[in-house]
Structure 1
Amino acid sequence: MLPGIEPLNPLPLLPAQKLTLGCPVLDRLLRGGLPVGSVTEIAGESAAGKTQLCLQLLLAALLPPSRGGLSAASLFIHSEFPFPIRRLHALSSSSSAADPLDHIFVAAAHSPDDLLSLLAAVDGLLARPPTHLPVRLIVVDSIAALFRSDFDNNPKDLKKRSFLFFKIAAKLKEQARRFGSVVVVTNQVVDVVGSEEGANGQRVGNYASLWSSGRRVCPALGLSWANCVNTRLFLSRKDDVADDAGSSRTRRWMQVVFAPHLPEASCEFVIVREGVSGIEPQSRDLCVDAAGSGLQMAGIRRGFLGGAVVTDVGDLTGKFHGVKWVRRRSSTCTQVGSVVRPDPSDDQVSDGGEEFLSEIVPLLLGARGYL
């Protein structure tokens, strides 16, 4: 061991306090909520629910720590106009806090330099809050809007843009650590064309499974900005046709792309008048009857996908020839990580079943379900 260097237990370094998202289902997905002292990015296309979730966080911060809050005021910096005051007022009507809007401060940023000036002034707000509550939540909605039109795609502008990324992120991280705050930034997405590994062939997190509205997308601002955030959450949406009349409903999901304290996971959620709420995954197993020729090539007579939640199973029948999909509860599988493996003691699964299930499970998860 080098002189003057002692081993350090990393467990006490993990953030102890977290901010609830205002929904127990979403809190379980994030192991309690958003951690203090770090920067969390919420990325997604327009109407995915980013701003709705941020408004809910403003009200959640007012809750006492016993209910997952911070007993704190919030600062909301918006670059998208106008500020959604009517929606915030509607959400606040169901808040248990007294006069919640009195503890939410709002500022507008029109450019990256404008944001940097605001963040410099925020130090005084955090150190000397104007109310009896400390300011411990900072929301920037959205970071991508500030960089949409001020920079060209040339080396000089790209270098300046990256410099501003690092400067903004460094200031946000300093304020998060110094004042024990939760920092949330929203980001937009861009379409991914060509490479399966993300924009420009660069893979950051689980890009291969980022889909929204039937398009393969990735968070905007590239690799430089991805390295500036501690946690990245991705919100996706899909319009499903609900009946023969052509009416549709929108389904939404929250996915953990990367985080130092979380595994990859996802959860469906809805946006209602009262706010953003997660949907409890149903406990259903899926039985695959592989009597058809499409699965005989894989050397399987029957396999079970335990723990998968799949809706509209009939949509998948056309992907294999002669395959019958039946919902059935089964105990013949053990779950290992993200791959469902058949129990070796089950004589209904022949050799090669594990390889086949390893290929099928990601398809099912990407289509409709979760493990």
Structure 2
Amino acid sequence: MKNDLKSVATKFKVYDKLEKLEIDSSRDIISKRPLDLQKILRINSQASHALLKAAAKEVYNYKTRQVLKKNILQPNVLATGDATIDKLLNKGIPLRSITEVVGESSSGKTQFVLQLCLSVQLPKTKGGLEGSAIYIHNEGPFPTDRLAQLARHNHPNNVEGIMNSIRTMRVKDVDDQYNTLAYHLPAFVESQANTSKPVRLVVIDSISAVYRGDSTMNRFDKMKEICDLSTRLKQLAIKYNLAVVAVNQVSDVFSKENAQNMEHIDKWMDFQLINQNGNQMLGLYIQSLSKKPILGLAWSNAVNTRIRLARSPMLEGMKTRRVVFIEFSPTAPRLGCEVIIEEGGVKSC
């Protein structure tokens, strides 16, 4: 019996009675009704309610301490595989939320999320989660060759084990994606929860592809479905303490005069790369940065963290340069860094 409960029991002169009746814990007391306590202890209503209040407080404090202890011991981020990108993200990809990786083609989106599929399998001491990944894709075949190359470069002694710990799911259309994300995905995550390598990362590449060119849904139905899926994905991330990373595509932004929307460009005027001064390199990436993520506000409002990958124009005779930028995050500032795509993955320069 803890101090608070003991003092209340002593105050009402029932401490010895409780021990004699073997009601010596807060859980034993809150299992009784007020009238039961009054009868067996021969006390009044005021005393029984005081005992129940003290016992309930003790049980609540114990559960709170256990939850806090569990959260402290559990990692809350997933390392990306690059120390500088981890620094931008305040240690890594946050768990229990949705992270969006957005950018135009050839900016490095798929390369980046494949890299995460390797990182999630690392020991916790190295920033991993000692878990497996699910990769849901809908644009062409899964990039098996590139994944194998990453595995050989980063884990040459365990290529087969790395590959086998990434489960792939292919979706063909809007209905298939909804059924996969709403039903098949949660069922599979649940089935793996108590295994040696539970699912700790879900990648969707890409969340928007199936909606492009689909004429069967009106705007309202699409928005409603996107809101429903985002809610389900967040619940899944919270319940199983995993990271959900969704790749999204972009489209050009035009005004009525068919020119680029300057308001969209203005929001990048604070663009800064770490180890660079000011936004002097904005012009190099502005064409890529000014493109608008697909799916609109319904999806954007559901995203917790957005990572923007941008590239310089792909011109003959000129080297293409790339950048990773934290567009918004509840835990990280708006900063970026230049990156290169090499055999081992997406790495900061």
TM-score normalised by length of structure 1: 0.64
CA distance in 2, matches of 1:166, 1:175: 14
Match of 1:196 among 262, 265, 272: 262
Q: What pairs with 1:293-308 in structure 2 (closer than 5 Å)?
A: none
Contact persistence 1:198–1:208 (CA under 8 A) = no
Match of 1:270 among 340, 344, 348: 340
CA distance in 2, matches of 1:16, 1:236: 29
What is the alpha-carbon root mean square deviation over aligned residues? 2.7
Q: Aligned pair 1:141/2:211, yes or no?
A: no
Structure 1: gaps spanning 5 or more residues: 1-11, 280-371
Contact persistence 2:119–2:128 (CA under 8 A) = yes
Match of 1:128 among 191, 211, 221: 191
Aligned to 1:247: 317
Show CA shifts across 1:114-161 (max 9, x none): 122112122222122296310110000001101101147xxx711001
Structure 1 range deviating more: 125-134 or 72-81: 125-134
Q: What pairs with 1:18-167 in structure 2 (closer than 5 Å)?
A: 18-96=77-155, 98=158, 99-119=161-181, 120-129=183-192, 132-151=196-215, 157-167=218-228
Contact persistence 2:75–2:124 (CA under 8 A) = no
CA distance in 1, matches of 2:253, 2:187: 41
**Alpha-carbon spacing, 1:93–1:16, altered in 2? closer, same or farther (3 Å):** closer
Aligned to 2:52: none
CA distance in 2, matches of 1:103, 1:258: 31
- The structure having more radius of gyration, on CA atoms, is 2
User: What is the SS of the residue equivalent to 2:320?
Assistant: strand
Q: Which has the higher contact order (CA 8 A, sep 6+)?
A: 2
Contact persistence 2:93–2:99 (CA under 8 A) = yes
TM-score normalised by length of structure 2: 0.68
Q: Which amino acid aligns with 2:347?
A: S
Q: Which amino acid aligns with 2:328?
A: F
**Alpha-carbon spacing, 1:160–1:198, altered in 2? closer, same or farther (3 Å):** farther
Show CA shifts across 1:7-39 (max 9, x none): xxxxx8999521011011111111111011000
User: What is the SS of the residue equivalent to 1:235?
Assistant: strand
Q: Which amino acid aligns with 2:185?
A: V
Q: Which amino acid aligns with 1:102?
A: N
**Alpha-carbon spacing, 1:213–1:264, altered in 2? closer, same or farther (3 Å):** closer
User: What is the SS of the residue equivalent to 1:256?
Assistant: strand
Aligned to 1:235: 309
Q: Which amino acid aligns with 2:208?
A: A
Which has a greater percent of helix?
Answer: 2
Contact persistence 2:75–2:129 (CA under 8 A) = no
User: What is the SS of the residue equivalent to 2:339?
Assistant: strand
Match of 2:232 among 165, 171, 186: 171
Show CA shifts across 1:31-61 (max 9, x none): 1110110000000000100000010000000
Contact persistence 1:51–1:141 (CA under 8 A) = yes
Structure 1 range deviating more: 174-183 or 96-105: 96-105
**Alpha-carbon spacing, 1:207–1:278, altered in 2? closer, same or farther (3 Å):** same
Aligned to 1:223: 297
CA distance in 2, matches of 1:239, 1:218: 17
Quote the offset at 1:213 in angstroms: 7.2
Which has a greater percent of strand?
Answer: 1
User: What is the SS of the residue equivalent to 1:249?
Assistant: coil
Contact persistence 1:197–1:208 (CA under 8 A) = no
Show CA shifts across 1:85-122 (max 9, x none): 10001111123373101110000112232122112122
User: What is the SS of the residue equivalent to 2:147?
Assistant: helix
CA distance in 1, matches of 2:215, 2:311: 29
Show CA shifts across 1:157-199 (max 9, x none): 1100101110111111011000001000001111112333349
Contact persistence 2:117–2:201 (CA under 8 A) = yes
Q: Which amino acid aligns with 1:128?
A: S
User: What is the SS of the residue equivalent to 1:56?
Assistant: helix
**Alpha-carbon spacing, 1:221–1:206, altered in 2? closer, same or farther (3 Å):** farther
Which 4+ residue blocks in structure 1 deviate beyond 2 angstroms?
Answer: 12-16, 94-98, 194-199, 205-216
